[in-house]
Amino acid sequence: MEPLPVIDQKLCTGCHRCVDVCPTQVLVQVAGKAFLAFPERCTYCTACEDVCPEDAISLPFLIVLAPPTAS
Ligand code: SF4
Ligand code: SF4
């Protein structure tokens, strides 16, 4: 299964920005919280993560290892 955006329901304030920005209508708002309703449509564009003012959305598939620091 593909990794998908993860919405932290505790951080989400229901501002609706991610729902509005998602180009493929993956997200909907349910009971004042964003919800990944159609994960099969997700193109991993990262727009939802970028727009969230609460950092409630994380994209696990974008985690990269930091380069080693020069010493
Ligand atoms: S990563 Fe892009 S396509 Fe996927 S839910 Fe977020 S805004 Fe929508
Ligand atoms: S942008 Fe963030 S705070 Fe706003 S509805 Fe989406 S997940 Fe919740």
Q: What is the CATH number of the domain that holds 20?
A: 3.30.70.20
Residue 10 lies in domain? 6-56
Domain count within the chain: 1
pLDDT of the residue at 67: 77
pLDDT of the residue at 36: 95
pLDDT of the residue at 12: 98
Residue pair 14/7 in contact (Cβ under 8 Å)? The answer is no
From first to last of the 71 residues of the chain, give the pLDDT tens digit.
567 899 999 999 999 999 999 999 999 999 999 999 999 999 999 999 999 999 999 988 655 667 777 76
User: Is 15 inside a domain boundary?
Assistant: yes
Question: Which residue's C-alpha comes closest to atom 8 of ligand 1?
Answer: 22
Q: Long-range contacts for 34-42 (Cβ within 8 Å, ≥24 apart)?
A: 34/7, 35/7, 36/4, 36/5, 36/7, 39/4, 42/2, 42/4, 42/5
User: Is 66 inside a domain boundary?
Assistant: no
**Residue 46 CB–ligand 1 contact under 6 Å:** yes
Question: Which residue's C-alpha comes closest to atom 2 of ligand 1?
Answer: 45
**Residue 47 CB–ligand 2 contact under 6 Å:** no
Considering the entire predicted model, what is its pTM? 0.84
pLDDT of the residue at 60: 81
